[in-house]
Chains A and B, each alone.
Chain A
Amino acid sequence: MTTSRTRLFKEFKEVQRECKDSDLNLYPLDTNIFRWTAWLKGPEDTPFSKGRFELAISVPDAYPLVPPTVRFVTKVFHPNVHFKTGEICLDILKNAWSPAWTLQSVCRAVIALMSQAEPDSPLNCDAGNLLRAGDLRGYNSLARMYTLEYAQDSQKK
């Protein structure tokens, strides 16, 4: 418990010290260092560009020996993100976790996942099937539509 708390405080300091990136804004709840919120900017050249996506991060007590739980709060149309719950299918959040990862690097990995989808292990079958069938145009337009619908800059609190 103390180890995870100390480490989270260090990560918080690190996040504050680094100049604020425009594509990632990461901060904990005011009352609880174990609950974090991240705002990601959709990567360029993807249907998610110009969108802002909210991530809810819940850190377990045994962190960093176990991975944090990360899910999308904003609705995303992506093969590896559950459309309803926002659950993310990412190996480093499951069995390939390493304590050397930080919350910041996890967010970077999520951004990388948005531009590099893995349609072979889909949580969103519709998106996965579209990509696997090679219908890139259909996938792009659907994802773009949901980005415009749910993840507009104006919706940022």
Chain B
Amino acid sequence: MTNRILCKYYASGACRKGDACPFSHDWNDPMSQVCKFYLLGSCGYGNRCRYNHTRPDRATVGSPSSPVGFRNIPVASRPSPQGTAAVSPASAAAASPPPPLASPGFCMRLPENFDDELGWGEVPEEPEVDVGYWAKQPLCSMAMKGFCARGATCPYLHGELCSSCGKWCLHPYRPEESAKHAQRCAEERAKKDKDEALRRSSADVECGICLEQALPAVCGAAGLEGSAGCLWSRGAGRLCRLAFELWARAWCMSCQTVMGKERKADRRFGILTACDHSFCLGCIRGWRAGATTNSAEEVTRSCPICRTRSHFIVPSTFWVSCADDKEALVQNYREKLAMIPCKHFNYGNGSCPFGGSCFYAHADSSGRPEEAQTLRHAATEDGVSVLQPVRLSSFLDGFDRATRLTHA
């Protein structure tokens, strides 16, 4: 059902189809999770594909709108959001609003008598603005990114500047959508700032195995980003961050204070659940795998420093010192893992040695979760025998049930 799937162009602020778009323009709807290779006929991942292998129902797919000839392109005037040269020829505005630009394969060719139709050159007497009509019009995607070569002659609406993300993407005639966008932007910005603060605070945490700092320290350069010295302090946050990081690393290489990991993928902590000692993910994983040492599992599963045993480690891009944050991190990690299908369980075709205590999702291909296994017993002459393969977890999880069954 495409009208319940968030339009990916709308999500990036550039859907030209407006209300005629067959996809949803509601932020509450999810993005499409259907595998496009599956739709084309073959997906190399098969059952293991992380995207959905379902075909969309034909009846629910929005039928394409009526074809629109290029003569009908609403190249009519557009009121400039800046308030200058708001051209609105009476002829175009008085006529019924042109059909929306919703035809697939829509061509942006302009008619030959473009200028005549528009009546450029004539100074309009009164800029009449039909709010209902303009609210349906899409924004110019060029202007949204910062520069539209056509300027005031652009047939599309030019949005207003969003102060958080720096894009000209606020629709002047859709106030509620603009408000939503601003809210999302503010939330994202706050999240980014929080992450950045966490990253900085964990920059000098050292791994107990390789004795290096997992994250690159910024050596006095902290706090520069976003200040007057920073190019593109708003808007192109990505470029800024990258340039900043390169600069900070180069700076610190010379004074030998950064011992950040070379690869970005290595700049992660492996957080032990039972104690507060810091290790980078690669080191602690290598130690716990125990492949290179003949130490007992008792030793490798415990913290190299305090020998407290942790059952699992949590990867994290920043160091958590507060117990509440750690709790939230572990919870978040387990929730994320619970979304991933267990490869041992293999949609019900395999058997997972971890049983009910597995972190990964145990569900068959239709998404139905695995039924809780109870032990089945049968009385024999020499006592009670168990009819199913036994897992330790079934004793732990379903202990009460099992005892009840035995007594029944």
Contacts and interface: CB of A to CB of B under 8 A. Distances in A.
Interface of A: 3, 6-7, 10-11, 62, 64-67, 95-100, 102
B283 interface: yes
Contacts of B292: 62, 65-66
Contacts of A100: 208-209, 304-305
A147 to B, nearest CB: 34
A95 B298 CA distance: 10
Contacts of A66: 292-293
The secondary-structure label for the interface of chain A is loop
Contacts, number: 46
The secondary-structure label for the interface of chain B is loop
Interface in B198-214: 208-212
A3 B207 CA distance: 12
B206 to A, nearest CB: 10
Interface string B276-309: 0000000100110000111110010000110100
Interface of B: 208-212, 283, 286-287, 292-296, 299, 304-305, 307
B210 to A, nearest CB: 5
B210 A98 contact: no
B51 to A, nearest CB: 36
Given A10-B211, A64-B209, A99 B296 contact: no
A7 B211 contact: yes
Contacts of A3: 210, 283
Identify which of A6, A10, A98, A102 gathers the most chain B CB atoms within 10 Å of its CB: A98
Nearest to A60: B292
B299 A96 contact: yes
B208 A6 contact: no
Nearest to A10: B211
22 contacts: A3-B283, A6-B210, A6-B212, A7-B210, A10-B211, A10-B212, A62-B292, A62-B293, A64-B209, A65-B287, A66-B293, A95-B295, A96-B295, A96-B299, A98-B299, A98-B305, A98-B307, A99-B208, A99-B209, A99-B283, A99-B287, A99-B304
Contacts of A10: 211-212
Contacts of B211: 7, 10-11, 102
A2 to B, nearest CB: 9
* Leading 7 A-B pairs by shortest Cβ distance: A100-B304, A98-B304, A62-B292, A99-B209, A100-B305, A65-B292, A99-B304
Nearest to A67: B293
B32 to A, nearest CB: 42
Nearest to B262: A2
A99 B305 CA distance: 8
A95 B307 CA distance: 13
A100 to B, nearest CB: 4
Nearest to A61: B292
A141 to B, nearest CB: 38
Nearest to A98: B304
B4 to A, nearest CB: 50
Given A65-B286, A96-B295, 11 more contacts: A10-B212, A65-B292, A65-B293, A67-B293, A95-B295, A95-B296, A96-B299, A97-B299, A98-B304, A99-B287, A100-B208
A64 B300 CA distance: 13
A97 B304 CA distance: 8
